[in-house]
Structure 1
Amino acid sequence: MSFGTYARRVRDEQVPLARRHTSLRCAVGHYCPLGFNATWAYLAATARPSPDLRRDPAALLRALETLEASRAVWLDEVESYAVRRHAEKAAGRRAPRRIITQPSGFRWPGETAPSRLGLVAAVANRRTAFRRSPFPDEGLHRDSQGQQLAGLHACLDSCAAAYLTNLGRVDAATRDALAEAIGGIESLLRPGPAPLNSHLLGWLRFANLVAYAAEVPLGS
C-alpha cells in the first residue's frame, strides 16, 4: 500500500491504536530520510511532550505530521529536479548537474532546519546499534587491516559520543576526526559483494548521519 493509505489509517480514530501505530511504522518504511530506525527515533523525540507513540494518539499524529511535512518538501525537490532536467535535456545537456532520486540517508528535508532534539535521538539510537554490532571477523579482512578497522571503529564511536555528550556542539577537532574516519571507511570499501562491505557500509551510514547532524545549527 502507499504512503498516503498508511497516513489515512494513522488518522482514522475508528482504527485500533495498535494498528494506527503499525501504520505509522509502515509509512516510515515508505519514507525514511535518515534510515528507518533513525527516522523513527527522530519522530518519537519530536512528538514531545509525550513521545510514546504506541499509547498516545496525539503523539502519533504529531509524528505523522512531522513526517508528512518533510516528505512534502522532498517531493517538491524531486519534481523541481525533474522539470530542470527536462529543460536541460531539451537544451542538449545530457549529463545532470546533480542527482536527486531518493531521500539522502543523512538529510532531513524540510522548510526549516531539522530538530536538533530529533537528530540527537537519531544519533543515540544508531550509536547503540553500532556498539552492539559485532566487529568484523578476522577472516573478512587482511591482518594488516585489523588495526585500521579498530581505529576507525573507536574514532567513530568517540565522535558520536562527543556529539551526544554536548547535545550537538561539535568542535573542529571532532569534525576533522569524523571526516578522516569517513575517508578511512570509504578507502576500505571494494566494488561488488566484498565480504567486509556489509560491515563498512553500516559504519559509513552511521558516520554520515553523525556528520550531517553535527552541521545542524545549534538554535534549531
Structure 2
Amino acid sequence: MRDGEVPLVRRHAALRCAAGRYCPLGFHATWAYLAATARPSPDLRRDPAALLRALEALEASRAVRLDEVDAFAARRRAEKAAGRRTPRRVGEAHGPGPRWPSRTGPSRLGLVAAVANRHTAFRRSPLPDGSLRRDDRGRQLTDLYARLDDCAASYLTNLGHVDASARDSLAETISGIERLVRPDRAPLNGDLLPWLRFANLVAYAAAAPLGR
C-alpha cells in the first residue's frame, strides 16, 4: 500500500483488503468514512496522497482498538486473580456494534458519509415479502422501515446534529426491530438484521463525541 512503485490500482485494492480485515463500522460504511476523511479527492483510485491518508486513519483507529483489547485482557486477568469469574458489563463506548475507535473522537464528516452510504443501500432494499404487509406484523415492518428512513434522513439533513425527539424515535425504532428479530435463522431475519445494523450505525453516529 505504501510502495509508490506499485500501480495505484493495486494500492487501492490493498487498502480495500485492509478495510475488509478491520472495518469497525462495517465494510461499506468504513470505506465511505475513509474516502470522506481522506479529502480532497473524492476518488481514492486517482489520488496516492489520499490513499495514504486513508491508510493512516485506518491504522490509527486499529491501534486504539488494539490498546482497548489489551486493557480489557489486563483487567480480566486482575479480576480473575481476585476471584471475579464473570466479566463486568462492558460500557456502551466499548461494546459491540459500529464504533470508530479514536483518541480524539471520530470525524463528523466521516460519520455523515458512512450513514449516507448505508442510507442509500437501505432505500434500495425492498420491504419484506408483500404478503406480510397484510397482517399486523406487516404493518409493523412498514412503520419501522419508514421511521428508520426518517431518522436517517433527519441525521443527514442536519449534518450529524440530532435533537432529543429524533434520538427517542431512533431508540424506539431499534427496540421495535429487536423485538421482531428471532434467535434462530428465521427468514425475516434476513431483512431485519441489516436494518438493525443500519439503525445502530445511525444511533452511534448521532451520539458519538466528535473530533474534527
TM-score (norm 1): 0.90
- The offset of 1:134, in angstroms, is 1.6
**Does residue 110 of structure 1 match 2:98?**
no
Pair 1:88-2:70 in alignment:
no
C-alpha displacement of 1:217: 4.2
Q: Distance in 2 between matches of 1:103 and 1:38?
A: 18
Structure 1 segments of 4+ aligned residues over 4 angstroms from their partners = 139-142
Deviations 1:107-164 (A, max 9, x none): 1001011000000000000000000012111456882200000000000000000000
Which stretch has the larger CA shift, 121-130 or 90-99? 90-99
Q: What does 1:48-197 correspond to in 2, within 5 Å?
A: 48-98=39-89, 104-138=96-130, 143-197=135-189
Tell me, in whole angstroms, the C-alpha distance in 2 between the residues paired with 1:104 and 1:11: 31
Tell me how large the CA RMSD over aligned residues is: 1.8
Deviation at 1:13, TM superposition (A): 1.1
Q: Is the 8 A contact 1:169 1:218 kept in 2?
A: no
Sequence identity, in percent? 73
**Residues 54 and 104 (structure 1), Cα distance of their counterparts in 2 relative to 1, 3 Å cut:** farther
In structure 1, list runs of 5 or more residues that go unmatched: 1-9
CA, structure 1 residues 20+166, in 2 after alignment: closer, same or farther (shift >3 Å)?
A: same
Give per-residue Cα distances to partners, 1:16-41, cap 9 Å, x unaligned: 11000000000001100000000000
TM-superposed CA distance for 1:172, in Å, is: 1.1
Distance 2:155 2:89 in 1: 30
Structure ranking higher on relative contact order (CA contacts 8 Å, 6+ apart): 2
Instruction: Specify every segment of 5 or more residues in structure 2 that has no aligned partner in the other structure, as ranges.
Output: none
Q: Is the 8 A contact 2:104 2:211 kept in 1?
A: no
Shift of 1:105: 3.2
The normalised TM-score by structure 2 is 0.94
